Amino acid sequence: MFAPLLLSSFEQHQRRIDWIGVLLAGLLALASVPTAYGQSETPGESVGAQSFFSGGRGVVWEVPDVDRAARFELDRIAESGITTVRVSAAPWFLPGKERSAAAVLAHAESLGVSVALDLPLAYESAAQIDVATDSLGPTLDRIAQLARQHRALVAVGLGKSLDTSVSKTCAALERLAVELRNRAPDVARYYISPFRPEEDQCAGAVDGVLLDVRGVENPVERHRAWSASTDTPVAIGAAGTWVAPDSASGLNIPHSSQAQARWLEMVLNQWIPERSDAFEWSEPGDTPASDAQAFSELSPTIFVYRWADEKNPLGRRYGLHAANGDPRPAATVVRGIYRGEQRVFAFPSGSAPSPEAPWAVLFGWFLLIGFALLYARRPLFRRAVGRYFMAHGFYTDSVREGRDTVSLVSWLMLLVVGVATGVIAAVIVDVLAPTMVAERFIDALGPDLGQRLGSYISQPITTGAFVAGGVIVMLLVWSVMIGLAVRNWKTLRTDQVMMLVIWPCWPALLWMGVALVMVSNGTTGSPQTAGILAALGAVSAVWATVRVLRDVRVVTRIPLPVASLMAVFSPAAITTLLFAITWVQTNISASLVIHLFTRT
C-alpha cells in the first residue's frame, strides 16, 4: 500500500531535481556567451578588435588576378614571417571574382595569415561617404558572407585619407561602421589616417585607426603621439619609403633600394621594444625567437607598404619586390625582423651622387641681373619706372600720348615675366614633388588625370618651361584682344598696349627673386612654403588683371562693361577656368585637399 505512494513521491522529487539542473545549465550557458559586441569593454567594439591592432607583422598586398599566382605569392608571404595582409576589396567584387576571393581567403587561413580588406573609399568628404554607404549594401553583405565562411577575414577598412579632420565626417563614418557591424559583428573596423593626432577627430567611430606614416619624419613618434591622444587602438597601416626608378646602388644614394632597406630596418627595430622599458635586448639568453615573441607582444600591428611595385604616376617604387617578383634588399630586412632571425643588416655605401648644376637657378638670377643692368644703362627706362611707381598718373598720360614708350623693354619684360612665372612654378613643383602631399593629390585625381599630371610634377624643369610658354602666349593674346576692343574709343600702337598689359605684371619678378633665395638657402623643404608662394602668385595675377583694366580705362575712356568683358580673356581668368574644369572632373573636395596639405 505504501509502495505506490513512495514511488509517486520519488518521481515528483526527481522531476524537481531535473528542472533545477536544466535551470542551472541554462544559467551557466548564458554566463559563457559573449556580449552582442564581443567581450571588449568598449561599447560597440567588434570581437577580436584588440588582437588585430597589436602584434601583427603585416604587408600591403595587391592580389594577383590569377588564382594560382595569388596562392604562390601567399606562400612566399607566409614564408617571410608575415602574419597579416591588407588588400583592396575592389577587385574581389567585380563580376566573376567571387570564387577568387573565397579561394584566397581559404588559402590564407590554411597558412595562418589573416586578411584585412579595404573598402574602395578614398579621399571622400562626409557627404560622399553618406552617398557611398547607401550603395555599399551588397558589398557589405558579401563581406559578411566571406567573414562567416573564412576566419582569415578579421578586419575591414572603411576608407583611406578620408577627411577625418572635420567632425561631420565622423557621423558618416560611424554610420558606415554600424552598417558593417550589424552584418559582421566579429570583424574589426578601421580607417587609414594620414593626419596628425591633434587634427584627426574620428577615432571613436571605429574599433581602431591605422596610420599612414609614409613621408613622416619620425613615424615612431607619430604613433606614440597618436596612442597618447586616444583610447582607441592605433596601428600602422602603411610604413615605407620609395625607390627611384633606375637609381644607383648604395646607402649614400637618395631613394636607392639600399636606402629603402635601411629605413625599414631602423623603423621596425624601433617599434619592437617600444612598449617595454623593462625588456633588455642585450641580456644573455636573448634569441631570435624571443625577439619575435617580443615583437608580437609589444608592438602595434605594422603593415609595410608594400609587397610588390604598383603603377605610380610619379614613378615611385615602394615594393619589397619589383613588379617582376625580384626581391629588393628591403625584402631581406622585413623577413629577418619579422621571423626574428636578424635585426642588423649591412649594405654597400656606394658613391654619393655629384650635385646637379642649378641651371634654372642660375638662369633666373641672370635674368634679374640683366634687368638691373638695363635699368642702370637706359635713362628712358629709369624715367618710365619712376613714373609707374611714383607718379602713376604721369605714366598713364605718357602712354596715352605715346611719349617715352619703351617698346624694346616691354618686349623684354614680356619674356622675363613669362620666364619668372616658369621659375616660380618649377620651384613650387620641386618642393612638392618629393612629398606625400603631392602623391596623395595625384592619387586622388584618378589614374588618367593623375598619370598626366604626375609626368609634369616629376619633371620640374619641363613644368617650368611649359608654364613660361603658356604665360607668354596668354599675355600676347590678351594684348591683341585689348587692342582690338578699344579701337572704337582710341587707337593704340603695339608699344602702348604692351606697356599697359605687361608692366603691371612686375610682381612676377619679385616672387621669382623670393623663390631663388629659397632655393639658394635650401629652405624649400616645406610644402606650406610652396603653398604660400603659389598663393602670393595667384593674388598677384588677380591684382595685375585689375591694374591692367584700370589703366586701359584711364587711357582709352572705354565703358566699364567693355573693360569687364576684356577681363574674361586675361591669363588669370583663363587659368582659373581651366583649373575649374579640371577640378569638376575630379570630384574632389577642395577642403579635403587643403586639409591634406596643412594637417598631415
Please tell me the predicted confidence (pLDDT) of residue 33: 35
Q: DSSP labels for 317-347?
A: B--SB-TTSPBPHHHHHHHHHHTTS-S----
**Same domain flag for 386 and 314:** no
Rounded-to-integer distance, Cα 585 and Cα 27, Å: 61
| Same-domain pairing of 191 and 311 | yes
Q: Are 482 and 558 in contact (CB under 8 A)?
A: no
In a domain, 469, yes or no: yes
Please tell me whether residues 323 and 381 are part of one structural domain: no
Tell me if 467 is assigned to some domain. Answer: yes
Same domain for 210 and 180, yes or no, is: yes
Q: Are 459 and 497 in contact (CB under 8 A)?
A: no
3-class secondary-structure state, position 55: coil
Q: How many domains does the structure of the chain reveal?
A: 2
Q: What is the pLDDT of residues 505-557, one digit of tens each?
A: 989 988 888 887 776 655 555 777 788 888 899 999 999 999 999 988 888 88
Same domain for 363 and 335: no
| Residue 28, domain member (yes or no) | no
Low-confidence ranges of the chain (pLDDT < 50): 1-44, 46-48, 274-289, 292, 295
- 311, 339, 367 - which closes a domain: 339
Confidence (pLDDT) at 498: 87
Domain assignment present for residue 12? The answer is no
**Domain range for residue 552?**
359-599
Kindly write down the DSSP assignment for every residue of 232-294, as one continuous string: S-EEEEEE---B-TTPPSSTTSTT-HHHHHHHHHHHHHHHTTTT-SS--TTSTT--HHHHHHH
Residue 446, in any domain of the structure: yes
The pLDDT score that the predictor gives to residue 59 is: 96
Of 282, 306, 339, the position where a domain reaches its end is 339
Answer yes or no: do 140 and 173 share one domain.
Answer: yes
Q: Which three cell numbers stand for residue 14?
A: 526527481
Do 215 and 150 reside in the same domain of the chain?
yes
Rg of the Cα atoms in the chain: 33
**Does residue 390 belong to any structural domain of this protein?**
yes
pLDDT of residue 221: 93
Query: In whole angstroms, what is the distance from residue 240 CA to residue 263 CA?
Result: 8
334/365 same-domain check: no
**pLDDT tens-digit map of 115-162:** 999 998 888 888 888 888 888 888 899 999 999 999 999 999 999 989
Q: What is the predicted pLDDT for the residue at 98?
A: 64
pLDDT value at position 358?
64
Work out the mean pLDDT of the chain and round it to a whole number: 81
468 and 329 housed in the same domain: no
431, 464 Cβ separation under 8 angstroms: no
Tell whether the torsion through CA atoms of 272, 275, 280 and 286 is positive or negative. Answer: negative
For residues 429 and 303, membership in a common domain is answered with no
Burial tier of 399 (Cβ tally within 10 Å: 0-12, 13-18, 19+): buried
Residue 35 lies inside a defined structural domain of this protein: no
Asked if residue 284 is part of any domain, the answer here is no
CA quadruple 327, 332, 337, 339: dihedral positive or negative? positive
Q: Are 254 and 110 in the same domain?
A: yes
**Given the C-alpha cell 623684354, which residue does it identify?**
412
Q: Which three cell numbers stand for residue 436?
A: 606625400
Same domain, 330 and 370: no
Residue 302 belongs to domain with CATH number:
3.20.20.80
* pLDDT value of position 280: 40
Take residue 99 and report the three cell numbers written for it. Answer: 570564387
What CA–CA distance (Å, rounded) separates 516 from 508?
Answer: 12
Whole-model pTM: value is 0.79
Rounded Cα gap, residues 370 and 345, in angstroms? 53
